[in-house]
Amino acid sequence: MKSKDDGSIKQVAIVVRPGSIEILEEGETIQAWFKNRGVTSLLTTSDDWQLLEGISAGDFDLLIALGGDGTMLRAGHLAAPQGLPVLGINLGKFGFLMQLSREDWQETLPRLLAGEYKIENRMMLKAELWRGETLLSSYQVINEVVVARGQVVRPIRIHATVDGYPLAGYVADGLIASTPTGSTAYALAVGGPIMPPELRNILILPVAPHMSMDRAVILPEGASVEITVNSDHEAVMSVDGHEPVLISPLDRVLVTASDFTVKFVVFQDPGYFYRNLSNFMEQNPSIGDF
C-alpha cells in the first residue's frame, strides 16, 4: 500500500508486546530512525487505546510489529479490518511471519520509504460459535481455529460437514481448520501439508486421530465447514493460539472465508517463503536450550 495522497509513508504505528522492556528499547531506536526521515510514528503496545482509535480513524499508513509471530498475529488482527499493511521485524525467537530481523532492518527500511516493496494478501477465516440458533461469539482467524479436548487427556468425538454434507467423523484430540498461512503453524506440527501463502483454501486436519480418518482435506475458499463436538468431558475452541473457550456438547463451530484479508509487507522475491521454511526446519530457533 502507498500513502493516501502522494505515495509516501507519512505515519506509522510501531507495536510491541505489553511488558517487553528490551523490545520497547529497540522500538525507540526504530522510532528515532523514522523521525530523522520525516516520518511520524506512534510507539505503543497492542492494547493501547490510542493505537486502536488511530487505526479506526485511518491515521496510519503502516503497522510495524516488533517481536515474534504472536505479536505479528495480534497486529494482523488489528490491521486487517481497515486494510492496513503490516510489517514484521523479528525480535523474538521464531518469527516465521516476520520479514526483517534485528540485524537487517536499518539496511532494508529505506526501501520501504522508496516504495520498493510488495503487499502479500493473506486469506483469513471467520469462525462462529453457535449454540442452537444463538450465535455466542465470532472470531477473525489468520492462522487457525482449533476444536480440541480440554484438560482431560482423552480423545473427543468430532463431526465435520462441508456445505451441509458429511465430511468425516473423528475420534481425536482435535480438529484444525487452517488458512494457507496457518499451514506452517500448528497444522505443520501435526503432519499437515505446506501450502503457499498466496493460496485461498481451507485446510482441515485432525490432531492425533484414533482409528478414524487421518488425512488432511484441502477445500476451496467458498466452502462452509461446520464442526460439532459430542463428548462427555471438556472440549474447547482456540483461535490463533488465544485463550481457549469452553464449548458444550452439540455446540457448532462454523468456519468460512473471512471478508477481511491481512496484508503483509514483503521485500523479498517470491522464493523467500521456501527459503525461510527450509532454514527454520533445519534449525528451529524456538527450541532454545534445556
- Domain borders along the chain are 11-117+267-282, 124-259
Cell (9 digits) for 8: 509516501
Roughly what angle, to the nearest 10 degrees, separates helices 49-57 and 69-79?
A: 50
* CA separation for the pair 4, 228 (Å, rounded): 45
In contact, 156 and 149? CB cutoff 8 Å: yes
In contact, 4 and 77? CB cutoff 8 Å: no
Cell (9 digits) for 129: 460459535
Alpha helix positions (H), the chain: 21-35, 49-57, 69-79, 105-113, 186-189, 272-282
Cross-strand pairs, 45: 16
- Strands, E, within 173-269: which ranges? 174-178, 201-207, 217-220, 225-230, 235-239, 245-247, 252-266
State residue 269's pLDDT score: 74
* CA separation for the pair 40, 249 (Å, rounded): 51
The total of other beta-carbon atoms located within 10 Å of residue 288's CB is 7
State residue 233's pLDDT score: 87
Q: Round the CA-based radius of gyration of the chain to a whole number and report it.
A: 20
149, amino acid identity: R
Per-run averaged pLDDT (10 residues), the chain, 290 residues? 58 90 92 96 93 96 95 96 96 83 94 94 98 97 97 94 97 97 94 94 97 94 96 93 94 98 89 68 58
Respond yes or no: is residue 240 known to be catalytic: no
Closest CA to 240 of 148, 162, 139: 139
Cell (9 digits) for 261: 484479508
State residue 96's pLDDT score: 82
State residue 280's pLDDT score: 64
The model's pTM: 0.90
Roughly what angle, to the nearest 10 degrees, separates helices 21-35 and 105-113?
A: 40
* CA separation for the pair 242, 254 (Å, rounded): 18
Choice among 6, 61, 69, 259 that is catalytic: 69
State residue 3's pLDDT score: 39
* CA separation for the pair 232, 92 (Å, rounded): 39
State residue 259's pLDDT score: 97
Pick the CATH number of 11-117+267-282 from 3.40.50.10330, 3.40.1170.60, 3.40.50.720, 3.30.420.40: 3.40.50.10330
* CA separation for the pair 146, 156 (Å, rounded): 13
In contact, 226 and 160? CB cutoff 8 Å: yes
State residue 5's pLDDT score: 46
- Spell out the long-range contacts of 18-23 with Cβ–Cβ below 8 A and sequence spacing 24 or more: 18/45, 18/46, 18/47, 20/67, 22/91, 23/66, 23/67, 23/91
CATH topology of domain 124-259: Tumour Suppressor Smad4 (2.60.200)
Q: What does residue 229 show for φ and ψ, rounded to 5 degrees?
A: -110, 135
Q: Which residues, 6 or more positions from 25, have their beta carbon under 8 angstroms from its beta carbon?
A: none
In contact, 149 and 235? CB cutoff 8 Å: yes
Q: What does residue 151 show for φ and ψ, rounded to 5 degrees?
A: -80, -20
